[in-house]
A and B are shown apart, each in its own frame.
Chain A
Amino acid sequence: MPDMKATVREWLDTGKVDLFLGYKQVEGHPLPYAFDRDNLEELQDLMESPARYPLEKLGAGILAVQPNLKIGILGRDCNRRALNVLAVHQQITPGQIEVLELKCCPSPLHKHADCSSLEPRTYGPVKLEVGIDNSMPTARMEQFDQRTRFDKWLYEFQKCLKCYGCRDICPVCFCKECSLEHADLVETGGVPPEVPLFHLIRAVHMAGRCIDCGLCEDACPVDIPLRLLYRKVNEIVKDLFGYETGLSLEQPPLSILGECAPGVTGSHGAAV
């Protein structure tokens, strides 16, 4: 990217944004870093990061406390899609978060690719035999008969530690009362959380919502192929309704959220 630093300086100087979330090397780690008009000299350290964080989620979190700020983020196409989804669900106003766009990672929604953290990984023999290779395309998964597929998913789901990392890192999960913690929906007090209900609830919530960034799968300590699951769900949404998540500000065909999602009226999370 030729002049990322100059562009951010200009955005800050002209007041296009008050705060810019990029990355900087801190204590040996590439960390999300907030640049503003008070630390312009630090802009020389602005960098791209090999480790992706949900900057749009951090930005939306800041806006929830300080709604009048204008925020810029270093992002890719997935961040832009997430911002569209956040706007569709009234978590931010369109345009409240500007994206300075970098090159992109692979996704059915966006072919061009250079995101290192999404390189296919190699897995051990048991996972490959009994479970699922996370980098498998949905079409490959469908070649297994239904029984095998079900067994494979159960094998994956029963590894779940109920860390809620998939939800907590997800740029488009924001419900104040998440269905995954709702005692009437998922039995509480056990690990793994109710199989396969816990994961199916989240999968349904990701219909017309998941923008395929892969952060959930990155955060999962037990390598459950979450991205594959939500990809499948969104293929169905696309086939049935012609809706492509995150590509526009159009309302999704179904919006299933947790109860009391802020700013969302008439949600029907409990109906899942």
Chain B
Amino acid sequence: MYKLVPSVCSYCGTGCGVLFEVLDGRILGTLPLKTHPVNEGKLCIKGWNLHEYVNSFMRLQAPRVRINGRLHQVTWDRAIQFAADRLKKVIAEHGPDSVGVLASAKITNEENYLLQKFARAAVGTNNVDHCARL
């Protein structure tokens, strides 16, 4: 019922080791993973408070699309279809360079590779940037 689950902080690309305190399936708190080689038992203020966004009532837990000005909760398939249709429409009307892709420090190298591949090969633009430059 009570366990400490090791994980990696999802806030930035540093990748500090964290420990979630979990009681009956709910995260009570976050601790630094003391033996993690990256952060050696230290965290910044964001890492210390990871549990707050996991538990936040404002957290989006399912995909939503905006239809006629209102957000509707939909399945992933429907959301992806919706995004694909809109991207196609934008590219058809304004050309591929009207699309930009922002990759992330929080996903893996391989996923970032796929994302730039998607931008260049599927969309046809070199507008690729990364959140670490924001």
Interface on A for B, CB 8 Å cutoff? 19, 26-27, 29-34, 36, 50-53, 58, 61-62, 65-66, 161-165, 168-169, 218-221
Contact = CB atoms under 8 A, between A and B. Distances in A.
A51 B21 contact: no
23 contacts: A19-B2, A29-B6, A31-B6, A33-B3, A34-B3, A36-B1, A50-B35, A53-B34, A61-B29, A62-B2, A65-B23, A163-B42, A163-B44, A163-B45, A163-B48, A165-B32, A165-B42, A165-B43, A218-B34, A218-B41, A219-B41, A221-B42, A221-B44
A66 B23 CA distance: 10
B57 to A, nearest CB: 19
B4 A164 contact: no
Contacts of A163: 42-45, 48
Contacts, number: 72
A161 B24 CA distance: 33
Interface of B: 1-4, 6, 17, 19, 21, 23-24, 28-29, 31-36, 41-45, 48
B103 to A, nearest CB: 27
A154 B35 CA distance: 30
Contacts of A66: 23
Contact of B28 (A31, A34, A65, A219): A65
Nearest to A50: B35
A58 B6 contact: no
A163 B21 CA distance: 19
Contact of B34 (A19, A27, A52, A161): A52
B44 A161 contact: yes
Contacts of A169: 31-32
B2 A34 contact: yes
